[in-house]
Amino acid sequence: MAVAKMKEVVGRKVRVVDINCPEGVRCEVDTGDGHTVITDEPEARGGTNTATSPLMYFTTSLGACQNVQIVKVAEAMRFKHGAINIHVETTTDLIDGVEGNANGVMHFVGAKLDIEIETNESPEKLQRLADLSEDRCPVGRLFADAGFEPECNWTAVPLKE
């Protein structure tokens, strides 16, 4: 009988935040690395609209994480580039909830990134950068693992040298 071996976990890191919500849905998040993030909801969703919503932070995280991966992969590939601009759209829908959540529960059901990068590299090299950086984005992987692979559209614009 064959014995399945579990893949060894390498580089596991635990991230911890402390969240203080003294009143309502507005929260101050101590990220533990010297930064504070404020979240809130629009008035229509019970907040005071003093900060962006947690859902918008997730959308922001997708684009920012993708940028980090692009820069890291480009450096490893010696891929010369200039500015990177990313337009991110995420889609949510209300899914039936358990009893007591008759109005449904909001779920992310899709993500689209339009990525514009200044470069004079070949289309083949750009495709390699796209493939590797998309695969390495942990936030993008969350969407993919949930069954909604992010749609990434890449556009190269000439790099002024």
Q: Kindly report, residue by residue over 58-77, the tens digit of the pLDDT.
A: 999 999 999 999 999 999 99
Let me know if residue 9 belongs to a domain: no
In the chain, pLDDT over 70 holds for what percent of residues? 94
How many angstroms separate the CA atoms of 3 and 123, rounded? 44
Claim to verify: residue 46 and residue 101 sit in the same structural domain: no
Total tally of structural domains belonging to the chain:
2
Same domain, 76 and 144: yes
Strand order in the sheet with 36-39: 18-23, 26-30, 36-39
Q: What tokens were used for 95? A: 């899914």
> What pTM does this model have?
0.88
Task: Identify which has the larger pLDDT, 135 or 3.
Answer: 135
Judged against a pLDDT cut of 80, whether residue 4 lies above it is answered with: no
Q: Is residue 5 situated within a structural domain?
A: no
Q: Measured between alpha carbons, how far is 152 from 77 in angstroms, rounded to an integer?
A: 20
